[in-house]
A and B are shown apart, each in its own frame.
Chain A
């Protein structure tokens, strides 16, 4: 082969090699069903800066609950306050990359929790990649004075499960609606006023009060459990899940200790009761959307409920410890 031929062949092979390197990720990109505007929203968190008021409407035990939040956000730092007259008046939440602090003025308490971040959106994207949801985009409406793009989340049968309205330049979620199996709106949040990129004082993201009682999630769990004479079971930190909140519920008249856990892998509820539970019935009511693992331990019936697969729930059951 002459020198000219060798140079020519190298000159041909280098671009081909580079085009092959580039085609790998491009193919994956094509297979990713997440619309561009939602991808932008997924990555926008650390850059978002705004001050706004948002309305939240949910149905709690069949009853509509509505409240307003005043939100100040600068990247991973968020401060939430409540308007005068709100049921949460006086409470303040400050979340940083490290932790979430929730101040209750009536008891002079600061509850320290793990940060929430925008986990829900990332989960949505993962579920779309797994083929559990179908996500599409459409034009949105003007909300709180800003133009939006709409993201529609449907199940495999084509039922709309969520509508998300995103300000396309910033990637901010301006409105979100969640629907149940029969199309009833069960949850909504919507900004009613919004100022993008204002100047924000960093001191707003400090929440300290001398004399306030600092409470960890496990302290609350112990307190809730003790109120009904329960010895609380909980997921060890080594499971990767962190306790968000716990409360006592009385469905069917039986006392049930409920704990809600979160991690990057998902969320789940742990139920603990002295009553009997039928795992088959629990699975049946899950309708395949949530899985259940139930077992008996130390005189209690325990059940882990989440969208993790059965084997994962079973493994998590091994991470259960009992407190005093």
Chain B
């Protein structure tokens, strides 16, 4: 009982009276749902944008991958595989000489067989190397 009396005394204190006054003076605003409405509108707009972006990404990602692969393939093709025959204008004498050279290679190769092919070999330079004709075999 003593305890109850003590609590009531505290409630009636000057500090409590001051707080009570403050609370009583707080303006009593009407509840407004306008902010909620504007939030909904903003959410609705965002919700429309997100699928659009997703759809774009769905197209763009593979397209970008494909473009990258194509570019890589093009670079490799240019570097590795010979392009098709070049169309150029020449006098024709170089072309004729090369075909003649090949034909001569074939004839030489056929005639030489297992022997020496004059197209691939060269005469011995008698000024270089050992001259066996001058070696004194008796002294060996």
Residue ranges of A at the interface with B (Cβ–Cβ < 8 Å): 54, 56, 58-61, 65, 67, 69, 71, 73, 78, 80, 82, 84, 87-91, 93, 95, 102, 104-108, 116-118, 120, 173, 176, 178, 186-189, 244-245, 247, 249, 251-252, 254, 256, 258, 260, 262, 267-269, 271, 273, 275-282, 284-286, 290, 292-297, 301-303, 305-306, 317-318, 320
Contact = CB atoms under 8 A, between A and B. Distances in A.
A88 B116 contact: yes
Interface of B: 81-130, 132-133
A301 B123 CA distance: 31
B contact face: mostly helix, strand, loop, or mixed: loop
Contacts of A252: 91, 93-94, 97
B95 A105 contact: no
B86 A294 contact: yes
A241 B133 CA distance: 40
A80 B114 contact: yes
Nearest to B132: A90
A187 B107 contact: yes
A35 to B, nearest CB: 18
B114 A116 contact: yes
Given A56-B115, A176-B111, A104 B124 contact: yes
Contacts of A305: 98-99, 102
Given A105-B124, A295-B83, 9 more contacts: A67-B116, A80-B115, A88-B124, A104-B122, A251-B101, A258-B105, A277-B86, A279-B87, A281-B90
Contact of A285 (B86, B95, B125): B95
A290 B103 contact: yes
A contact face: mostly helix, strand, loop, or mixed: strand
Contacts of B114: 71, 73, 78, 80, 93, 95, 116-118
Contacts of B83: 295-297
A313 to B, nearest CB: 11
A130 B137 CA distance: 57
5 closest A-B pairs by beta carbon, nearest first, are A251-B97, A245-B120, A187-B111, A295-B82, A87-B123
B99 A290 contact: yes
7 contacts: A106-B129, A108-B129, A189-B111, A276-B88, A281-B95, A285-B95, A294-B86
Nearest to A84: B133
Contacts of B95: 277-278, 281-282, 284-285
A189 B115 contact: yes
A65 B90 contact: no
A120 B90 contact: no
A278 B89 contact: yes
A56 B121 contact: no
Given A106-B124, A303-B98, A297 B112 contact: no
A132 B104 CA distance: 20
Contact of A258 (B86, B101, B107, B118): B101
Nearest to A45: B114
B121 to A, nearest CB: 7
A293 to B, nearest CB: 7
